[in-house]
Amino acid sequence: MIIQKTPDWEKLLHEEFAKPYFALLKKGVDEIYQHGLAFPAKEKMFRAFELCPPKDVRVVILGQDPYHTPGVADGLAFSTASLNPIPPSLRNIFKEIAEEYGVPIRTNPDLSDWAKQGVLLLNTSLTVDSGKANSHADIGWYEFTDAVVRTLSDQREHVVFMLWGNYAREKRVLIDRAKHLVLESPHPSPLSAYKGFFGNGHFRKANEYLRAHDRGEVSWY
């Protein structure tokens, strides 16, 4: 289960992998995949890390947990395969980008191009049971993703953290605001997008910050 394809993450998080809770997490996840249906596919569990080495991380976008409908989750927060319908929250993300930049609404829900530009698309839980949202919240993933956020904050500089919704915003206490930009808003889901996600300007603000610190820009569309 450990991120075997990403030696840089292995090195960065090696102390975390040695902790007792991670051994329990690994055992629990292995049992879940052996005896039940969970998402994403096990080989895609750490895909967010595989596509975005730690040295390349410029933006962290935190989701809650993977899509719990068969055939949707692809290992990247908010993303799904290009031939799939665009999930509602992602459609709202694309609407916000279109509004900020005056461009057509993006039609490709596969966000691997963002990941390859240094956007870590990280869910606070990396797995979920079929049909049961947030079902793996208490098996150890939160402790692990807390460590990821804290380590990036401590060991990297000038990263933009986009925290949408209450689950993501809880991690703001782990981030050094003197070194990084923290952007917070309601979640882009249809239930809350009109309560402050639309109009938050996060994508332009992220690129302005990255550009000001000589870290380039992310092509969002």
Q: Which pLDDT score, from 0 to 100, does residue 6 have?
A: 83
Residue 73 has pLDDT above 80, yes or no: yes
- Band (pLDDT 50/70/90 cuts) for residue 2 is low
Q: What 8-state DSSP symbol labels residue 103?
A: -
The DSSP element (H or E) to which 136 belongs, if any, is none
Please choose, from the candidates 87, 191, 69, the residue with its C-alpha nearest in 3D space to the C-alpha of residue 133. 69
> 3-state DSSP call for residue 31?
helix
Catalytic residues: 65
Tokens representing 134?
A: 């947030």
Across the chain, mean pLDDT equals: 95
- The β-bridge partners of 163 are 62, 184
Q: Which pLDDT score, from 0 to 100, does residue 191 have?
A: 94
Segment 151-184, tens digit of pLDDT = 999 999 999 999 999 989 999 999 999 999 999 9
